[in-house]
């Protein structure tokens, strides 16, 4: 076949140049001429026609051959089968509706979850050459305290300079840190998400700005004019997408900055889509080795492997340790004990991190639901095919081979699958919207999740596969070689029927087993959730605690002393709002999700050894009354008073676990003294408070030192510091209502009119957000489990119902012979229970394996939790019994006279 012929055939199949009518006209002439020839030879009309038919063939045969040549025969066959399939579906509206709905839900759910998995896990990051990007971390197994939260060490600015200047493997490297900033001068003061980047970050990511230019290395110099870039979302929201923003000035934290560029839509550093991007300014001469609070991104040079980059960093760590001074009185060799080693990770892994397991679990779960749905439809098809035996027998008699019939039936199923998939696409997009609205809001790469071309391709693919999967079994089962026997009116032979009966039962058993697996997983997650909820987080009735973050930067109140007074005044006004029980503030809420403050304390009598860095503790600052508002108990001693604060007394409060670690018991801790640096004065422990979970209830509570919000600086004796970034907490039964929040805000503004509020939510919201991911996984599994149960129940119902209708005559005979109606009902219920009895053990066996896969998501219970494994089968068996009972009752209602009449 030449290319021309190939193309001509495609055109012929789609839009034939020569129509049937034209072809027939050409053939007519041929027949005419041939007939004339015959007559010239002496035949009469009748003989001539017959002779011509034999000599040159008939128009019908020739037209068939011509059509085969004009287009593609296989395509014509396919089109015909599709038409037949569609017609068959239309003829059975009940069956078609049920099957379509089942498929639509199964396929739609899978498509929705696939979009999530695709957007988060599969798609490459939205940067040029994203596989060259790495996140630079260090492991520091010797740095106790730091490793409890993030597991790895962030970079210090001095590290950045060393690496940027001395590396051999990076095209670009930079550090960044997220935070918030206050923008003023444009109506109400506003808290925005900001990101500070050093040189190298934007270069490494490589996304060109939408407007203007990137921040340049010169913007990093401490005395250069202050500049900023806008994020796309912020630019749209606050500047209306105005393209003349470049060069305009914006007040950030009371400093005017010139806007030099705008980043394009969807640009994010890590998972942060920042509103503002500012230049990190380092005073190079004042840097020391310390300050490990910066995240680092680098782009590898072409051809460089991750291992080579790791080795490069490993080479530079000792260089870095030699190149920079340390904090006063700390020997440079202390960092040796930390065993700092490079731990580079591909950036994608860094961003996506721990949720891949949960997402794949979700995908697997819905895949199982899909299988159950296919089993259901397969059963439906088998039942329907019982009625088509005659049609199939005729086809076979007319010459269709077994393969041909199987192909026809399969194409029917595929058409059903594709239609179900199309419907499912609609359901899937609705489902996705719900998922994104109610799912965990801190899902990485949220902006990249959508029903795009890839999701549609997946949808089509799954529909095709599903069509083949559920179509194959009935197609094979119903085209056994004994088709010839079916042409008689009484239909199939007994053994055929038994064979198909077995297959249907097998399908139902499979459904039940799969449903059991899903239900066990749901049960485990429910128990995990309850175990999490049972953990005492360290606060009480969080729904009644309203929180809001109120920073007071120097631009609003310059002197620290006045800030303290203002905060005191604010609390007084807040407590005056009707319904308020108490109010206080803290530097950072438990589970707030902000990057925590770590440092070391020295206990009097337990000096640090010169050759090691001491363990790091979490530092927070609290106002008097904070623990009372939260409901955290004091196990020893007392809370701060405002007198302590205003007189800047050297006092401290520690957490219970820290007290036990340093001094053995909370009561002995009272009166002991601690300090941060040898150059700072000692502070006395006056209170020990119960442990508070900080990073979600799954992690153990860290050891915390609570400093007063006003006091002498922990690091520079003689200066007063105050907590400017504070989260205010207010306990009230009215917490969470808009009216209440508005009253609180006005109370605050009456003291300080230009402060901005951020993160206004109840403590319960904070807590919910910390377990959002677990809650989400639970919700999804529960939904899948419920769907599986419903489908399984429908499956049993269908099978028993069908069995009853098939055995009507037998029932009639039994009744006529004196059987009790109750016995008949029991007979069919027993059938259903037997199916369950086979399915449950299989399901349990598979569950034990599946549960092991999800053990990382569980908390407080083992994957083989006996209570779940006992309760779920009972539920399933009960459901199976109920599903069998309803059709079984129909057996009891059979009228024997009518039943025996049927032939």
Give yes or no for a contact between 524 and 858, defined as CB atoms under 8 angstroms apart.
Answer: yes
Instruction: Pick the closer one to other proteins by CB: 57 or 896.
Output: 57
Instruction: Pick the closer one to other proteins by CB: 52 or 591.
Output: 52
Say which residue the tokens 């089942």 belong to. Answer: 102
Element (H, E) at 337: helix 334-338
Burial of 160 (0-12, 13-18, 19+ CB in 10 A): buried
- 3-class DSSP assignment, residue 8: helix
Closest approach, Cβ 300 to other proteins, in A, equals: 54
Residue 896: CB atoms within 10 A of its CB come to 17
Give yes or no for a contact between 242 and 262, defined as CB atoms under 8 angstroms apart.
Answer: no
Closest approach, Cβ 59 to other proteins, in A, equals: 8
φ/ψ of 708, rounded to 5, equals -70, 155
Residue 672: CB atoms within 10 A of its CB come to 19
Closest approach, Cβ 74 to other proteins, in A, equals: 16
Give yes or no for a contact between 894 and 808, defined as CB atoms under 8 angstroms apart.
Answer: yes
Instruction: Pick the closer one to other proteins by CB: 27 or 465.
Output: 27
Task: Please enumerate in sequence order all residues whose Cβ is within 8 A of that of 719, keeping only pairs 6 or more positions apart, or say none.
Answer: 712, 713
Instruction: Pick the closer one to other proteins by CB: 32 or 165.
Output: 32
The two three-digit tokens of residue 588, written as one number = 């950072």
Instruction: Pick the closer one to other proteins by CB: 59 or 272.
Output: 59
DSSP 53-116: HHHH--HHHHHHHHHHHHS-HHHHHHHHHHHHHHHHHHH-HHHHHHHHHHHHHHHHHHHHHHHH
The residues facing 295 across adjacent strands are: 176
Closest approach, Cβ 34 to other proteins, in A, equals: 7
Torsion of CA 741, 742, 744, 745, to 10 degrees: 120
Instruction: Pick the closer one to other proteins by CB: 37 or 39.
Output: 37
Instruction: Pick the closer one to other proteins by CB: 22 or 823.
Output: 22
Torsion sign over Cα 612, 613, 616, 619: positive
Residue 846's nearest CA partner among 387, 428, 520 is 520
Say which residue the tokens 């006279």 belong to. Answer: 897
**Positions that interact with other proteins (CB under 8 A):** 2, 4-5, 8-9, 12, 18, 23, 25-27, 29-34, 37, 55-59, 61-62, 64-66, 68-70
Closest approach, Cβ 46 to other proteins, in A, equals: 20
Closest approach, Cβ 134 to other proteins, in A, equals: 57
Closest approach, Cβ 75 to other proteins, in A, equals: 16
Measure the CA–CA gap between 615 and 674, rounded to whole angstroms: 14
Torsion of CA 587, 589, 592, 596, to 10 degrees: 50
Residue 827: CB atoms within 10 A of its CB come to 18
Closest approach, Cβ 53 to other proteins, in A, equals: 10
Instruction: Pick the closer one to other proteins by CB: 31 or 254.
Output: 31
Closest approach, Cβ 789 to other proteins, in A, equals: 59
Closest approach, Cβ 398 to other proteins, in A, equals: 21
Closest approach, Cβ 31 to other proteins, in A, equals: 8
Closest approach, Cβ 32 to other proteins, in A, equals: 8
Measure the CA–CA gap between 389 and 395, rounded to whole angstroms: 10
Torsion sign over Cα 756, 758, 760, 764: negative
Instruction: Pick the closer one to other proteins by CB: 27 or 833.
Output: 27
Say which residue the tokens 């380092």 belong to. Answer: 282
Element (H, E) at 642: helix 642-646
Say which residue the tokens 């250069």 belong to. Answer: 224
Instruction: Pick the closer one to other proteins by CB: 41 or 430.
Output: 41
Instruction: Pick the closer one to other proteins by CB: 61 or 679.
Output: 61
Instruction: Pick the closer one to other proteins by CB: 39 or 395.
Output: 39
Closest approach, Cβ 19 to other proteins, in A, equals: 13
Instruction: Pick the closer one to other proteins by CB: 63 or 758.
Output: 63
Closest approach, Cβ 73 to other proteins, in A, equals: 12
Measure the CA–CA gap between 596 and 695, rounded to whole angstroms: 10
Closest approach, Cβ 44 to other proteins, in A, equals: 21
355-386 helix and 494-534 helix, angle to the nearest 10 degrees: 150
SS3 sequence of 361-409: HHHHHHHHHHHHHHHHHHHHHHHHHHCCHHHHHHHHHCCCCHHHHHHHH
Say which residue the tokens 């949720």 belong to. Answer: 355
Measure the CA–CA gap between 572 and 401, rounded to whole angstroms: 90
Instruction: Pick the closer one to other proteins by CB: 34 or 632.
Output: 34
Closest approach, Cβ 26 to other proteins, in A, equals: 5
Closest approach, Cβ 78 to other proteins, in A, equals: 21
Task: Please enumerate in sequence order all residues whose Cβ is within 8 A of that of 518, keeping only pairs 6 or more positions apart, or say none.
Answer: 365, 368, 369, 781, 784, 785, 788, 789
The two three-digit tokens of residue 446, written as one number = 């949220």
The two three-digit tokens of residue 21, written as one number = 């009518």
Measure the CA–CA gap between 850 and 855, rounded to whole angstroms: 9
Question: How far apart, in Å, are the Cα atoms of 173 and each of 89, 136, 229, 272, 701?
Answer: 61, 9, 19, 18, 35
Task: Please enumerate in sequence order all residues whose Cβ is within 8 A of that of 158, keeping only pairs 6 or more positions apart, or say none.
Answer: 287, 288, 289, 291, 320, 323, 324
Instruction: Pick the closer one to other proteins by CB: 8 or 460.
Output: 8
Closest approach, Cβ 382 to other proteins, in A, equals: 42
Instruction: Pick the closer one to other proteins by CB: 57 or 130.
Output: 57
Instruction: Pick the closer one to other proteins by CB: 34 or 829.
Output: 34
Instruction: Pick the closer one to other proteins by CB: 68 or 165.
Output: 68
């Amino acid at each position: 076949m030449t290319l021309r012929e190939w193309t001509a055939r495609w055109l012929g199949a789609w839009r034939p140049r020569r129509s049937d009518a034209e072809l027939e006209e050409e053939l007519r002439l041929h027949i005419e001429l041939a007939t004339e020839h015959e007559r010239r030879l002496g035949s009469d009309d009748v003989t001539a026609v017959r002779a011509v038919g034999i000599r040159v063939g008939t128009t019908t045969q020739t037209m068939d051959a011509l059509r085969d040549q004009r287009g593609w025969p296989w395509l014509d066959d396919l089109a015909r089968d599709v038409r037949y399939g569609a017609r068959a579906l239309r003829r059975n509206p009940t069956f078609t509706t049920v099957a379509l709905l089942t498929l639509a839900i199964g396929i739609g759910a899978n498509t929705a979850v696939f979009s999530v998995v695709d957007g988060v896990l599969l798609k490459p990051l939205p940067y040029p050459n994203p596989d060259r990007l790495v996140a630079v971390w260090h492991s520091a197994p010797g740095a106790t305290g730091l490793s409890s939260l993030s597991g790895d060490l962030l970079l210090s600015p001095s590290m950045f300079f060393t690496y940027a200047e001395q590396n051999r493997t990076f095209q670009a490297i930079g550090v960044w840190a997220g935070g918030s900033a206050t923008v003023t001068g444009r109506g109400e003061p506003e808290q925005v998400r900001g990101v500070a980047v050093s040189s190298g970050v934007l270069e490494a990511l490589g996304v060109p700005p939408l407007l203007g230019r990137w921040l340049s290395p010169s913007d990093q110099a401490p005395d250069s004019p202050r500049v900023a870039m806008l994020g796309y979302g912020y630019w749209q929201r606050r500047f209306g997408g105005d393209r003349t923003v470049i060069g305009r000035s914006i007040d950030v934290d009371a400093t005017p900055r010139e806007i030099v560029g705008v980043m394009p839509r969807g640009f994010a550093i890590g998972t942060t889509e920042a509103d503002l991007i500012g230049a990190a300014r380092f005073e190079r001469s004042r840097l020391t080795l310390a300050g490990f609070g910066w995240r680092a991104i680098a782009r590898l040079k072409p051809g460089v492997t991750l291992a080579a980059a790791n080795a490069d960093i490993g080479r530079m760590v000792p260089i870095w340790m030699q190149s920079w001074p340390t904090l006063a009185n700390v020997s440079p060799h202390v960092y040796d004990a930390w065993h700092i080693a490079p731990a580079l990770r591909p950036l994608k892994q860094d961003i996506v991190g721990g949720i891949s397991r949960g997402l794949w679990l979700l995908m697997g779960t819905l895949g199982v639901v899909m299988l159950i749905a296919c089993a259901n439809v397969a059963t439906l098809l088998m039942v329907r095919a019982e009625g088509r035996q005659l049609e199939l027998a005729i086809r076979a008699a007319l010459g269709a081979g077994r393969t041909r019939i199987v192909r026809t039936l399969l194409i029917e199923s595929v058409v059903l699958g594709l239609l179900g998939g199309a419907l499912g696409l609609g359901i899937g997009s609705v489902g996705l919207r719900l998922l994104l609205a109610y799912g965990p809001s801190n899902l990485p790469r949220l902006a990249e999740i959508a029903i795009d071309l890839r999701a549609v391709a997946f949808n089509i693919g799954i529909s095709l596969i599903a069509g083949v999967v559920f179509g194959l079994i009935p197609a094979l089962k119903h085209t056994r070689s004994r088709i010839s026997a079916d042409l008689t009116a009484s239909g199939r032979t007994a053994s055929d029927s038994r064979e198909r009966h077995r297959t249907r039962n097998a399908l139902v058993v499979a459904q039940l087993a799969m449903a059991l697996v899903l239900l066990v997983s749901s049960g485990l997650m429910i128990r995990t959730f309850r175990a999490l909820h049972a953990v005492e987080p360290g606060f009480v009735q969080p729904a009644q605690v309203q929180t809001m973050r109120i920073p007071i930067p120097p631009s609003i109140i310059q002197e620290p002393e006045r800030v303290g007074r203002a905060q005191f005044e604010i609390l007084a006004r807040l407590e005056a709002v009707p319904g308020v029980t108490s109010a206080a503030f803290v530097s950072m809420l438990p589970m707030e999700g902000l990057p925590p403050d770590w440092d070391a304390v020295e206990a009097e009598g337990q000096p640090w050894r010169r050759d090691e860095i001491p363990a790091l503790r979490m530092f927070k600052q609290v106002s008097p009354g904070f623990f009372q508002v939260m409901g955290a108990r004091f196990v020893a001693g007392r809370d701060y008073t405002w007198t302590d604060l205003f007189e800047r007394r050297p006092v401290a409060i520690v957490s219970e676990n820290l007290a036990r670690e340093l001094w053995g018991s909370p009561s002995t801790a009272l009166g002991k003294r601690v300090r941060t640096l040898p150059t700072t004065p000692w502070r006395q422990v006056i209170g020990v408070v119960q442990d508070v979970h900080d990073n979600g209830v799954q992690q153990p509570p860290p050891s915390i030192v609570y400093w007063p919000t006003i006091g002498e600086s922990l690091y520079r004796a003689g200066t007063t510091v105050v907590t400017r970034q504070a989260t205010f907490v207010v306990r009230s039964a009215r917490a969470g209502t808009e009216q209440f929040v508005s009253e609180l805000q006005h109370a605050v503004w009456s003291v300080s009119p230009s402060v901005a509020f951020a993160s206004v939510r109840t403590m319960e919201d904070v807590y919910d957000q910390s377990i959002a991911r677990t809650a989400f996984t639970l919700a999804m599994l529960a939904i899948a489990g419920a769907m599986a149960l419903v489908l399984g129940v429908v499956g049993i119902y269908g099978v028993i119902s069908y069995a009853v209708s098939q055995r009507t005559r037998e029932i009639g005979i039994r009744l006529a012979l004196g059987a009790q109606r109750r016995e008949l009902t029991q007979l069919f219920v027993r059938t259903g229970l037997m199916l369950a009895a086979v399915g449950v053990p299989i399901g349990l066996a598979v569950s034990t394996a599946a549960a092991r896969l999800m053990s990382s998501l569980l908390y407080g219970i083992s994957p083989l939790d006996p209570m779940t494994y006992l309760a779920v089968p009972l539920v399933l068996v009960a459901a199976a019994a109920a599903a069998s009972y309803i059709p079984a009752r129909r057996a009891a209602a059979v009228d024997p006279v009518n039943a025996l009449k049927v032939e």
